[in-house]
Structure 1
Amino acid sequence: MNERIKAAREARVLAQNNDTAVLSTISKKLQGYPFGSVSPFMLSAEGQVVFYVSDIAQHARNLSVDNRLSITVFDAAESGDQNTHGRLTLTGNARPLGDKSLGELYFRRFPSALSYRNAHDFKFWQMDAEHVRYIGGFGKIFWINPAEWLLPEPQWHSADALQMIQHMNDDHADACGLILRHQKAEFRNYAGTVEMSSIYPDGFHLVADERSIFIPFETDCATAGEIRKQLVKMTHDARQSAAA
């Protein structure tokens, strides 16, 4: 894997490990000044930005007039110099989503957003990433083009992803817990409930202790069968490690 593709993958993991982004729009009220707001977001399977906001929100009003958007995601420093931590900026044009197929996947990631579904002024938006700026720390700075950022469209649909997630939670909750404890040292002794909340070609989210954790696959998966093989291997490796 070349350096740029590696940086793009690191940038995707950074985005997947953060549920909230700063959305910067061109202000209608302030006559063109940049306007920053905070919103939950997720990525589509390929890597486009999806968010769910009310029509009365300032950034939604701004986008209805000028759809240029920049989103910024960063790993917050608990102490020390923030500049040593990764950050990512994606820019592009945003548009309301006519196809609501991503909606159920979004609600799986953000269950609290279900309470907004009956509010008629909420809608899904998608920003197609046109420019990507990734800084992984001092001296690790890249402009990443869309071809490097995006993954190929997988050979499954949103409904298939929801079925895979439900299957893991209904029949393999123990495997989710094993994988989390094996992959993340801070959860090594965690004994609580673990649920899967997303599935992507390059990994999946697990929810534990009210936290969302992204677990990358070793290799990208184009089919549901490839995902199954990866999950079986990860579960096997976790069991072996736990027994050692």
Structure 2
Amino acid sequence: MQNTPSSEWVTPALQLLRHARNGALATQSLAWPRTPYASWLMFSSDEAGQPWFCISGLAEHTRNLRTDAHASLLIVEDANTSAAPARVTLVGTAQPATPSPLLEARLLRYQPESAQYLQLGDFAWWQLQLTAVRYIAGFGRMGVGDQTQWQAAPQLALQDEVHLLHDLPALDGAEWVGLDFYGCDVRRQGQLHRYDFKERPHDLAALAAAARQAVTA
């Protein structure tokens, strides 16, 4: 299997991350020593493409991570669309973290149900701080890199995202949820929809124009 240059695999891997709402988190099990424990859970990502989870203090993963913070998150595209779906594994350490007000607002736009969980007092935000990424896009196409390559991708500052969301025109029967330099997210009838940009915009004005065009195409 041939590795693709970083400029070729980082973009589709990031797009796969931005499309996903759930993934399989694997941690080192306390119940079964020296054994990975994996389960499906909901996540959101920050402006740098780092995953965040809202999980209970009683969760199996929480108990595992308090002993060993090493973890990985597997994200797979819709397996029904391909016999060999694209997938990306994000490797790093998971730590409890307090997001900034702007970041928490973004996380809750994607996970509004987490607001109720956080009010219970037992739930908290955890961030997966990446050390490595492995992307496979079917037979013969893959890429492996570290957090330096991942974070070198264009990032939309949270404050700029808020301003753009405020200035974008209202949608009929839908609402804007989030933006980045690769696409935008809209909620329609309670469901999140991702719209990829045909070309990556290079400034904020072009990003706003790309978002308007994407949702009306």
TM range (shorter): 0.7 to 0.9
Task: Give the structure 2 partner of residue 63 of structure 1.
Answer: 65
Deviations, residues 95-142 of structure 1 (Å, cap 9, x unaligned) = 111344322211111112221121111111111111111111111122
Please give the TM-score of this superposition, normalised by the length of structure 2: 0.85
Q: Supply the distance in 1 between the matched residues of 2:80 and 2:156 (Cα, whole angstroms).
A: 39
In terms of mean alpha carbon deviation, does 52-61 or 203-212 score higher?
Answer: 203-212
1:1-244 mapped onto 2 (5 Å cutoff): 3-78=5-80, 81=83, 84-101=84-101, 102-151=103-152, 154=155, 156-157=157-158, 159-168=159-168, 172-174=169-171, 193-217=173-197, 218-219=199-200, 226-233=203-210, 235=212
Cα contact 1:26–1:32 (8 A) shared by 2: yes
Greater helix share, structure number = 1
Q: Give the letter aligned to residue 170 of structure 2.
A: A
Greater strand share, structure number = 2
RMSD: 2.5
> How many aligned positions are there?
212
Deviations, residues 164-213 of structure 1 (Å, cap 9, x unaligned) = 32443xxx124xxxxxxxxxxxxxxxxx6222111224332122244323
Cα contact 1:45–1:201 (8 A) shared by 2: no
Deviations, residues 139-176 of structure 1 (Å, cap 9, x unaligned) = 1122122222224685734x5533432443xxx124xx
Asked which structure has the greater CA Rg, the reply is 1
Query: How much identity, in percent, do the aligned residues show?
Result: 23
Deviations, residues 15-70 of structure 1 (Å, cap 9, x unaligned) = 11110010000011222311011111122111111111111111011111100011
Task: Give the structure 2 partner of residue 183 of structure 1.
Answer: none
Q: Give the letter aligned to residue 37 of structure 2.
A: F
Q: Supply the distance in 2 between the matched residues of 1:193 and 1:120 (Cα, whole angstroms).
A: 34
Q: Supply the distance in 1 between the matched residues of 2:117 and 2:211 (Cα, whole angstroms).
A: 36
Tell me: CA distance 1:85–1:154, structure 2 relative to 1, closer, same or farther (3 Å). closer
Q: Give the letter aligned to residue 93 of structure 1.
A: T
Tell me: CA distance 1:28–1:238, structure 2 relative to 1, closer, same or farther (3 Å). closer
Q: Supply the distance in 2 between the matched residues of 1:88 and 1:59 (Cα, whole angstroms).
A: 20
Structure 1 stretches of 5 or more lacking a match?
A: 175-191
Cα contact 1:77–1:85 (8 A) shared by 2: yes
Q: Give the letter aligned to residue 212 of structure 1.
A: L
Q: Supply the distance in 2 between the matched residues of 1:145 and 1:163 (Cα, whole angstroms).
A: 31
Q: Give the letter aligned to residue 97 of structure 2.
A: L
- Structure with greater contact order relative to length (CA < 8 Å, sep ≥ 6): 2
Q: Supply the distance in 2 between the matched residues of 1:144 and 1:173 (Cα, whole angstroms).
A: 39
Cα contact 2:90–2:133 (8 A) shared by 1: yes
